[in-house]
Chain A
Amino acid sequence: MPRAMTMTEKILAAHCGQDQVQPGDNVWVNVDILMTHDVCGPGTIGIFKERFGKDAKVWDPTRIPIIPDHYIFTADDKCHRNIQILRDFVTEQGIPYYYDPDFVNTQAGSGMPNPYRDPTQTNYKGVCHKALPEEGHCRPGEIMLGTDSHTCTAGAFGQFATGVGNTDAAFAMGTGKTWLKVPPTMKFTFKGNIPPYLTAKDLILAVIGQVGFSGATYKAMYFTGDGVQSLSLEDRMTLTNMAIEAGGKNGICDVDEKTLRYVEARSNRPDWTVYQEDVNAEYDGEFTWDLNDLEPLVAKPHSPDNTATARECKDIKLDRAYIGSCTGGKITDMIFAANILHGQQVKIPTFVVPGSTEVHADMKRLGLDGEPVKEGQKNIEQVLQDAGCLLGAASCAACLGGPQDTFGRLNEPINCISTTNRNFPGRMGHKEAGVFLASPLTAAASALTGHVTDPRDYINGPITTGSAGIC
């Protein structure tokens, strides 16, 4: 009898040429996609050249998407120089999937770049984890490495995806291989249908609150159940995105017709393999929630597992709201926020940063129902601007603080409610600032009141995201 395996185990087995693997095995696997960006790319390229030689060629230029996203809108010369290092490298290596911030002048002293005028007229994409599926680099059954801890986001597409450092990335860049220890899998089941006041952010905060900030260290996190199926693919990306906030090695979702629809519309390769969990697969812990029992949650400073219901925090005063990042800057997140904010005025400065230029373009193209705007309707961007939000250009922006002049950065010790993923001390800038992680619904509701607010106070019907983010 072959051993019953999880999706993660099956993918790793297939990539090391074995019929089966089990948790704890160390295996060398073939990598399908290696992603890097402007923060870790230069270091990775440096190690690649040092180790493989100045004239070395990457193992497969078509499998190395390079996506600058972190430090784009800053006057810092070193950040511009790093973009030039990427430009030189992709030219030298003939890398086709490079998404250049073509409006950045990398000459020293060039100052703050003027952003793209029209998000549809630039090669620049924005946040790598959002751009990867948009640009067709995510497929079921594959192994993706990225020099970024939130590479686990791609697990929403039924693949194994994990973050690595520069040395591992440089090794894979030259060889197409990496070693991995097969992780045990933890199973998280959500039952029911997603109610209008919850998003996947509440689900993943519930998971992290339950298992703790290091509760899934070294483990695969498998998200399943009809509750997960009821989420849009973009919202599933929020689930897998924050697997790392429980210490997880990867997060993974089942492949269903929503996954296939997305991948068929986007993939730039024709083939992939769909793996399913075996019924008798072994789990290192199983947890189940009924979506009807869950309430909107926040994670209080300074840890993503410091969760409480939004209602419990209603007396906490806020100074700022931030809607953006790979976790909470997708078009569905923008639609969620806009449905709360439309026709109202924010009480605190509210910064909105699209995760990608496609998200930005969709904010102009789509209305509150996620469908193309019709005559006389407002698009998402107008709704948010009319509510008093400050709109930035697509990038990581203040999610990780970044250079002092970054849009939305917390330069003072203030309280901010944010749709991002981390609230460690200093993560969004100031070491003494307090970051409350929340869903776009909760962040938007809180922006209207200036204190942590349960979005149920503002929701009176279902919110549909239509075909947003799919085709």
Chain B
Amino acid sequence: MQSTVRGKAFIMGDNIDTDQIIPAEYLSYNPADPEERKYFGMYAMAGVPKGQLGLPDGNTRFVPENEFATEFRIVIGGKNYGCGSSREHAPLAMAEAGAQVVIAEFFARIFYRNCVNGGYLLPCESVERLVDEIHTGDDCEVNIETGTLTNHTQQKTYQLKPLGDIAPIIEAGGVFEYAATKGMIKD
């Protein structure tokens, strides 16, 4: 896993649930089919209500209409990011669109687990609330080794919490890779 990720930030509020990240009507695409999988990228964040999408203005699309990729690498939310349904399609959709890191004050459990075990996104918890300070479009950089987020646009650096027990799974790239390193399954 690379140790820094730099790119534009996309800011969201509290309690962003997985129905907002990828609405139920798009779940009929089969993520195991590469052609269909792309559509999760197209519809990532399609359920977020107007006014909440890309704070502070709240009207920035995550993925431009009829496109598959986002210009935002780093998604930053408030509390309880990824709550609700267990659909793995949520981190998958964000990753498919091109996001690499998701930062929140804290995550809902299943979303967090899906990010890590599926190796989709790096989920980091921030020490302080970021969504009132950082703006959508700011040039940000996450450094995993130093555990920091730097906002180059505003020239400020913030602390991220250590990855803790799950660091080995993240480093391995997911639960299958991790289990293979432990000899639990064949590589």
> Taking beta carbons and an 8 Å cutoff, which residues of A are in contact with B?
26, 28, 39-40, 42-43, 45-47, 49-52, 70-71, 76, 78-79, 81-82, 85, 147-149, 151, 163-168, 171, 174-175, 177, 179, 181, 213-214, 217-218, 244, 247, 249, 303, 400-404, 422, 424-427, 431-432
Contact = CB atoms under 8 A, between A and B. Distances in A.
Interface string B31-67: 1110010000000000111100000000000000000
Interface string B105-144: 0101110011001110000000000000000000000000
10 contacts: A26-B165, A43-B31, A50-B32, A149-B110, A163-B110, A166-B114, A213-B15, A218-B109, A401-B19, A425-B48
Q: Which of B19, B79, B89 has most A Cβ within 10 Å? A: B19
A385 to B, nearest CB: 28
B59 to A, nearest CB: 14
Interface string B75-97: 00001100111111100000000
Contacts, number: 147
A175 B108 CA distance: 26
Chain B interface residue count: which class? 35 or more
B185 A247 contact: no
B86 A165 contact: yes
A167 B174 contact: yes
Contacts of A163: 86, 110
Nearest to A49: B32
B65 to A, nearest CB: 16
Contacts of B153: none
B159 interface: no
Q: Which 3 A-B pairs have the closest CB atoms?
A: A46-B32, A165-B88, A165-B114
B109 A247 contact: yes
Nearest to B119: A167
Contacts of A40: 86-88
Contacts of B165: 26, 181
Interface string B156-170: 000000000100000
A46 B33 CA distance: 8
Q: Which of A164, A179, A422 has most B Cβ within 10 Å? A: A179
A51 to B, nearest CB: 5
Q: Which of B50, B106, B174, B175 has most A Cβ within 10 Å? A: B175
Given A164-B110, A168-B175, A171-B179, A427 B19 contact: yes
B19 A165 contact: no
B24 A51 contact: no
Contacts of A51: 176, 185
A164 B86 contact: yes
Contact of B117 (A165, A175, A247): A165
Contact of A214 (B20, B48, B80, B179): B80
Contacts of B174: 167
Given A165-B87, A167-B118, A174-B185, A76 B28 contact: yes
Given A39-B28, A45-B32, 11 more contacts: A42-B32, A43-B88, A78-B30, A148-B85, A149-B84, A165-B88, A165-B113, A167-B119, A168-B113, A214-B80, A214-B108
B47 A426 contact: yes
Contacts of B28: 39, 71, 76, 78-79, 82, 403
Given A149-B110, A175-B184, A214-B106, A424 B27 contact: no
B25 A247 contact: no
Contacts of B83: 213-214, 247
Nearest to A404: B25
Contacts of B87: 39-40, 165
B117 to A, nearest CB: 5
A43 B117 contact: no
Contacts of B110: 149, 163-165
B41 to A, nearest CB: 15
A325 to B, nearest CB: 13
Interface string B13-30: 001010110011101111
